[in-house]
Structures are given as structure tokens and as C-alpha cells.
Amino acid sequence: MTKADAQVYIVATPIGNKSDLSRRAAETLNNVDIIACEDSRTSANLLESYGITTKLVSYHKFNEKQRTSEFLKLLQEGKKIALISDAGTPCISDPGRILVKELFQQNIKITPVPGASAITAFSSIIPRDTEEFAFCGFLPRVHSQQGKIFQKFLNTDLIFYESPLRLIETLQNIAAVRGNSARIAVGRELTKMFEEVKVGSISDVAEYFKNNVLKGEIVCMLYAAKSDCDEVSGLAEKIRKLKKLNYSDKDISQIISALYGINKNKVYKQSLSVE
């Protein structure tokens, strides 16, 4: 092998149901020289079910820099490496960004092998008014830092991961910042036997999980704050004035959203109908 043969594959693995590993992912993992993984015990269990015997090497947040240097040496020899996480797509709230950044600098080919992701799986099964959403991974532990995030994305649906041990506390913190009527969706154990999704007000969802099983992987979406355009006096007239100043519909939506806290997509749609 030569350096030209070197290649790294970013391979998505199931978020719960082992059957979700794609055929291409299985073939890739079977044909590379090394598989970099977060926890070799977790990954070995998955690979064994597919008869894959490729060597596993640990790659997690505590050894990312060291392993990246080691992998670069192997890639110089023309080795092929696959990166996986315990579940889902690597580099999405999982280790891998340091390696990918270095690979780009070294001009080493990176190939995605897409598959399961909790973000897309969850967002596909909950009610949403718009395609737009923000994702922030795991929330910070400090309440004040969480509060800043909840306010920053006041007008945008916000998807985040959370631990079942901290979910109730996080819901209470959201209530303190956005009120008990704020709307949220919570999914746990997606693709597994006890998969469950709850959508409702912060108070209702928190009450439900206080009295029911709360285990497994958790993904949430805090809905954008509701703000009806009619609540802003003379909105149509404000839009007309801005149009006379030659602002575009897009600019108008951003200006009014910033001034009045209205979802900019709603303002944009109304602006299109105002002459």
C-alpha cells in the first residue's frame, strides 16, 4: 500500500436496533484495516452479530490527540481506517472532529458512510411547523449557561441530547426561563423495544416522566416560542413602510423578528402577501 491508498471512513452505526446497520457500513467495516471506536466492548458486540473481525482500537475524548497522531502514521503506510461511535454518526456529539480536521490538513481522503442519527430519526416522528431547527448537542451542566441557550434560540426549534438522570432538572430549568407552557418533545430509547416519545407542555411532560420509567438515551426538541403576528399592532403597516424603503421580504422578516420576537418565517410569509 501507498499513501495514495490511505482512506478514512466515517461510518454511522445503529442508535439502538442492530438491524439498522447498513449493508454498505458492514462491508466497509469488514474491509478496512482498523476500526477506531469509543468503547471496544460496545462495538465488539455489534460487530460480532455481523461476523466482522476487524481489529478495534479505542478512540475517545480522552485520547483523541494521541490516537490521531498514531492513525496518521498508519495512514502514511496506506492503511484504511473506519471511525465509529458507540451509536449513531461519529463527530455528532461524539469524538472525531480532531481527526477529521487533521485529515483535511493532510489531504487524506475522507468518505462518509451514512446511516442512523438520533437527530434525524427523532425529528422525523414529531410534529414540526418548519424545517428549520438548531442543534446544540448535550447542554452545559450550569443552569445559567443553559438559560442563555434557551433564550438564544427563542424563535427556533432547538434539538439537544440529555441524560435521563438530568432530564427532570433540565425541564425545570426550561420552565424557569420560558415558562411551564413552553412546548417540548422528548424521545427515549429510539429504535429499541421501549421506544417512547412525549410531546406537550414542559409541566405535562415533566410530570409524566416523574411518574414513569425514565431510562435510556434521550433526545429533546424545545419548540420555538409561539408569537402570533396579530399580537403586534399594525404589523402589516410596518411591513409596508419597510417595503417603501426598498427592504426585501427576507430583510423585513429578520428586522421584525429581531424587534418583536416573532418567528421570521411567519413574518416572511406575511410580507409576501403585503403590497
The verdict on 166 and 248 lying in the same domain is no
The verdict on 176 and 252 lying in the same domain is no
Q: Which of 100, 116, 132 is the last residue of a domain?
A: 116
The verdict on 216 and 148 lying in the same domain is yes
Alpha carbon distances (Å) from 129 to 224, 240, 266: 10, 26, 10
Q: Residue 139 carries which DSSP code?
A: P
The verdict on 97 and 123 lying in the same domain is no
Mean pLDDT of 99-123: 95
What is the rounded CA–CA span in Å between residue 213 and residue 196?
A: 10
In sequence order, what are the residues at sequence separation of 6 or more whose Cβ sits closer than 8 angstroms to the Cβ of residue 147?
173, 176, 177
The verdict on 197 and 243 lying in the same domain is no
Task: Give the percent of the chain with pLDDT over 70.
Answer: 95
Q: Which of 116, 134, 154 is the last residue of a domain?
A: 116
The verdict on 192 and 214 lying in the same domain is yes
Query: What pLDDT is stored for residue 229 in this prediction?
Result: 47
Residue 232 pLDDT grade (very low, low, confident, very high; cuts 50, 70, 90): low
Ranges 53-62, 108-117, 240-249: which has the least confidence: 240-249
The verdict on 8 and 110 lying in the same domain is yes
DSSP calls for 197-229: EEEEEHHHHHHHHHSS---S-EEEEEPPPP--G
What is the rounded CA–CA span in Å between residue 238 and residue 90?
A: 46
Strands (E), the chain: 7-11, 34-37, 55-58, 80-83, 110-113, 133-138, 157-162, 183-188, 196-201, 218-222
Q: What is the pTM of this model?
A: 0.79
The verdict on 166 and 106 lying in the same domain is no
Give the structural domain span for 137. 119-222
The verdict on 59 and 103 lying in the same domain is yes
What is the rounded CA–CA span in Å between residue 187 and residue 177?
A: 22
- β-bridge mates for residue 95, sequence order: none
Residue 3 pLDDT grade (very low, low, confident, very high; cuts 50, 70, 90): low
The verdict on 50 and 106 lying in the same domain is yes
| CATH number of the domain residue 48 falls in | 3.40.1010.10
Q: What's the distance, CA 184 to chain centroid?
A: 16
The verdict on 99 and 183 lying in the same domain is no
The verdict on 133 and 218 lying in the same domain is yes
Q: How many domains does the chain have?
A: 3
In the chain the first and final C-alpha atoms are separated, in Å, by 66
